[in-house]
Amino acid sequence: MMTRSKSMYGYYLVWPALLIYTVFFVMPAIIGLYYSFTDWRLDRIGIKFIGFDNFNKIFTDDTLLLAMKNTFIFALATVVGKNVIGLVLAIALNMRLKSRNFLRAIFYSPSILSVLVISIVFTPILRTEGMVNKFFDAIGLHFLSQAWLTDPHLVIWTVALVAIWQQAGFQMAIYLAGLQSISKEYYEAATIDGAGAWRSFTNITVPLLLPAININLMLTLIGGLKVFSEVFVLTSGGPGNSSQVVGTIILRAFGEGNWGLGTAINTLLFLIVSLIAIPLLVFMRRKEVTE
């Protein structure tokens, strides 16, 4: 009896957390899934099951389709930008530079600031008469001056650049931790065998850095698909609807009292994140094992 009690000790510790998670996360998700198939609205007393009508509206409404397109553009741009810049910074600051600790702090510091603060600071900087355009004009690069926040074709890329600037340092820290865990003996052996810097990078650094790459890909991908704060503060979805993303559309739907549609969009976002992130996670885990 005592042995059985000890074997159940771990479950006793897990059950309270599991209960809290079920009540505050699992049950709301299940309830939300149900409401996504209803006409739940602020101006109606009753709730009627309408099947896939909300989802049909998502795929036939031009604004909703544009929001989904912008979400994917933002996610792709930030995944590439944050990881490439973060990896380059990590490799550079893994070298024996006297100022490396200071530079690490400088590059990492934007990631600890609030997204809202960063967005508020960048709003006047990126205006047509803002600091960025004035700088380009001052050095004679007038053609680089753009309507960063008012050009419908450019605005979502501008928001993505702000997000990359803020979070690349966080990815750098993860890559730097991964690089410092790689034994220098591998590189010494590769040098003796005549391998150059590029060959050492592709055959030693990348395979041994796969766990860090996996973590960063998951974080940046999920964060990119769930984007909201940057767009909401910098552009509020404008000009027009040109920078709307799924997160801002959900807010607008709930603000208009169309709760069933908002829940359906949220459910669709959850499915998209799951369908993209889970296969990628499985693939990356297998690559870690094979490498």
Distance CA 181, CA 199 (A): 19
| pLDDT recorded at residue 3 | 56
Task: Name the amino acid, one letter, at 132.
Answer: V
pLDDT score of 153 more than 80 = yes
> What would the pLDDT profile of 178-226 be if each residue is shown by its tens digit?
999 888 888 888 888 888 888 888 888 888 899 899 999 999 999 999 9
Confidence at residue 4, expressed as pLDDT on a 0 to 100 scale: 57
User: Which has more confidence, 120 or 157?
Assistant: 157
> Over 80: is that where the pLDDT of 290 sits?
no
Distances in Å between the Cα of 145 and the Cα atoms of 131, 154, 192 are 10, 12, 50
Q: From 1.10.3720.10, 3.30.2350.10, 3.30.230.10, 3.40.50.720, which CATH number describes the 25-290 domain?
A: 1.10.3720.10
Cis before 239 (ω within 30): yes
Residue 162: the pLDDT is 94
Q: How many alpha carbons lie under 13 Å from residue 108 in its C-beta half-sphere? A: 15
Mean predicted lDDT score pLDDT of the chain: 88
Give the residue-averaged pLDDT of 58-65.
90
CA distance 30 to 227: 23
Average pLDDT over residues 133-161: 91
3-state secondary structure of 49: strand
pLDDT band at 169 (very low <50, low <70, confident <90, very high): very high
Instruction: Kindly tell me if the per-residue pLDDT of 74 is higher than 90.
Output: yes
Residue range 112-133: average pLDDT? 88
User: Got the DSSP string for 154-191?
Assistant: THHHHHHHHHHHHHHHHHHHHHHHHHHTS-HHHHHHHH
User: Is 80 exceeded by the pLDDT of residue 79?
Assistant: yes
Model confidence pLDDT, tens digit, residues 97-115: 888 889 999 999 999 988 8
Tens of pLDDT along 211-220? 899 999 999 9
Per-residue model confidence (pLDDT) at position 82: 96
Q: Report the distance separating Cα 244 and Cα 249, nearest Å.
A: 7
